[in-house]
Amino acid sequence: ACFCKDTTKEKLKAIQKGEDEKASLNADIAELSSKRDGLDRTIQETLDEISLQEMSMKQASQERAEALTLYQTNTADLQSAIDSLEGALKTLKASKTPSFAQVKTVSNIVRTAVLLADTLGLGGGVDKKVIAFVQQEPSNGNEVPMED
């Protein structure tokens, strides 16, 4: 009878230990499952943020490309104006007494350069009176006729 009681006691103890381990493992599974769900949400939020940032980068790249194109166009225009002004200055310096036609040509080149600079917002503090003067077209009736 002692053997049966001891064996039954051991079996009950083993069963209780197994059930306790099962309950502990079920609790661990529930905890880890909850943690995994949280991590899955974090991963999805991160993927959404990456997608949003990629779209933002694409838009910024397009804006920078447009700005670069505008900058390159303005640079080419300014370089052309600078080259024209340098040519006009060389022409004036080369002739000891510039003719009216040379002065008029240089005046037109300066007018174009100043208007271009004003249009591009590069006036650098150019006085409004100078801009108004340069913007005036020479009147056809008041020009002095030139002889051949």
pLDDT in tens, 106-140: 777 777 777 777 777 665 555 555 555 555 555 54
What the block records as the tokens of 65 is: 């490309």
**What is the Cα–Cα distance from 118 to 134, expressed in whole angstroms?**
11
The pLDDT of residue 13: 93
- pLDDT mean over 12-31: 95
Task: Read off the DSSP letter of residue 38.
Answer: H
The pLDDT of residue 43: 98
The pLDDT of residue 142: 47
The pLDDT of residue 124: 55
**What is the Cα–Cα distance from 124 to 135, expressed in whole angstroms?**
17
The pLDDT of residue 28: 96
The pLDDT of residue 21: 96
| pLDDT per residue as tens digits for the range 63-107 | 999 999 999 998 888 888 788 777 777 777 777 676 767 667 777
The pLDDT of residue 90: 79
The pLDDT of residue 16: 95
**What is the Cα–Cα distance from 114 to 111, expressed in whole angstroms?**
5
The pLDDT of residue 100: 66
Per mean pLDDT, which range of 28-32, 49-53, 110-114 is the poorest? 110-114
- The angle that helices 2-94 and 100-119 make with each other, rounded to 10 degrees, is 160
pTM of the model: 0.49
What the block records as the tokens of 46 is: 């991160």
